[in-house]
Structure 1
Amino acid sequence: MCGRFVISDTTPDLVRIFDVDTVGEGLPEPSWNVRPTDPIPVVLESKKEGPVVRRLEAARWSLVPSFSKELKLKYPTFNARSEGLATSSAYRASLAGKRAIIPADGYYEWHTVGKQKTPYFIHRGDGPIAFAGLYSWWRDKSKADDDPDRWVLTATIITTDATGELADIHDRIPVMLPPEFWSVWLDPDATGDQSLVDQAVAASRPMVPSLAFHEVGPVTDNGPELIEPVQR
């Protein structure tokens, strides 16, 4: 799973890294302790009677399906399991045509032995991570049609089975897309199905051995000191 992550890149950084065409409003500031339901930057592509536009938008981290009556769900949706994603009532519509990239420096994971939980920071040493994600627009029907807050963009991070040394920390990891797969994943003209998810998982596997990790202190508050290695 991925329940906390770090994104220190600024909006201009993300525009450059992901070759973004347009930037939405309310993009969050860098954070070293992103939690579920926090605002996060997401990269997506859209097409309206013209060329494809790559956008950088702010989303609420926890996907809410468009059919939901409430913004707060009774079950967690900040992660979505890659297995069987195409048959999930919560995610299949987003998989079909609302796929996103969620940028990150890295993420935290807790290794649990008995009641002892040890936090680790997992990251790349040579650039940002592009998590495979899904998004959904949720309509707040309690708000008027002319209220700019009536639509809420929400998103989730897709996960898969952990491999290698990371499996010793936790049995799940986020799906991390290599640059050559970004356009494939975001393509609004492609209808997403389980085959596309499986391709994304396969594309992410070669990246896993390049990930580094180290133990960190308690993940509280916010700031770059959170990702500093614990000194023994």
Structure 2
Amino acid sequence: MCGRYANTKSGEELGRYFEADEVDAVALPASWNIAPTQRVPIVVDRLSKTDPDEVPPSRFVTSARWSLVPRWATELASKYPTFNARSETVSEKSTFTGALVRSRAILPADGYYEWHTTTGVDGKPVKTPHYIHDPVEGELSFAGLYSWWRPPVADGQQPAEWILTATILTRAAAGPAASIHDRAPVMLPREVVDEWLDPTVEGDQSLVDAMVAESDAVLERLELHAVAPLRGDGPQLIGPLGA
């Protein structure tokens, strides 16, 4: 799973890295401790509203609420977590099936955290957070999905504004990260990001499975180190434990 991560790059920096056509004016502060339901940067490809068959999709960097809410939901808060979606079953879950077809996203990250559970001398579980990052690319591209949501409109009332929401796909862990946890985000190599985002391609389980296979290359080159318990925010959170 992925329940905490870091992103310190501005929208403009992400726009340059992902070769975006447009960057939203919404500015998000750098954070080394991003949690579910907070606003996070995402990258999406959008079809032209006037001529989708002739005009190529445009790339857009914006922000979304990290926990996907499908359009048919009646409330923003869900009874179960939706900040992650299991890649093995994403095409079977009604919460995510609509988004998988054409609403796929990248959630950029500097790195993410995972907790390694061991048994202490008293026999109780001890959880140690680890910071995980890509020393080669310096940027992680989490494969995700997005959905627009707004609350149902009561009779005689004006509709509320739409809220953009997003989730991160996860997979069985592999490579160095598998030593501390059995799950990991689906992290895409830069060369397959265009394929994942392309809204002219109808997304299905076979596309997800192909992206999971492509993510092996990223998982194998990750580096990780133990860090202190995550409290507050700031660059000190990713420093090696005891350094």
Give the TM-score normalised by structure 2.
0.91
Structure 2 unaligned residues grouped into runs of 5+: 120-124
**8 Å contact from structure 2 (residues 173, 181) kept in 1:** yes
Contact 1:25 1:58 in 2 (8 A): no
Partner SS state of residue 194, structure 2: helix
Greater C-alpha radius of gyration = 2
1:12 aligned partner: 12
Residue 210 of structure 1 aligns with which residue?
221
- Counterpart check, 1:74 vs 2:79: yes
In the alignment, what sits opposite 2:158?
144
Counterpart pick for 2:93 among 85, 88, 103: 88
What root-mean-square deviation, in Å, do the aligned CA atoms of Structure 1 and Structure 2 show? 1.3
Shift of 1:207: 1.4
Match of 1:175 in 2: 186
On the 8 A contact 2:11/2:62 being kept in 1, the answer is no
TM-aligned CA deviation for residue 55 of structure 1: 0.4
1:45-99 superposed Cα distances (whole Å, 9 cap, x missing partner): 1112233110011100000011100000000000000002111111011001100
1:53 and 2:58 correspond: yes
AA aligned to 1:121 is Y
Tell me which amino acid in the other structure corresponds to 1:120. Answer: H
Matching residue of 1:191:
202
Gaps of 5+ in 1: none
Partners of 2:175 and 2:58 in 1: CA distance: 37
> Is this contact kept in 2: 1:140–1:152, CA < 8 A?
no
Q: Distance in 2 between matches of 1:22 and 1:165?
A: 36
The one-letter amino acid paired with 2:4 is: R
Q: TM-score, normalised by structure 1?
A: 0.95
**In the aligned structure 2, how far is the partner of 1:144 from the partner of 1:133?**
31
Partner of 1:225: 236
Work out the CA distance in 1 between the residues paired with 2:133 and 2:30. Answer: 16
Secondary structure in structure 2 of the residue aligned to 1:125: coil
Deviation at 1:125, TM superposition (A): 1.3
Letter in 2 for 1:56: V
Percent identity reads 48
User: 163-172 or 69-78, which moves further after superposition?
Assistant: 163-172
Query: Per the alignment, in what secondary structure is the counterpart of residue 2 of structure 1?
Result: coil
Letter in structure 1 aligned against 2:38: D
Q: Distance in 1 between matches of 2:188 and 2:25?
A: 25
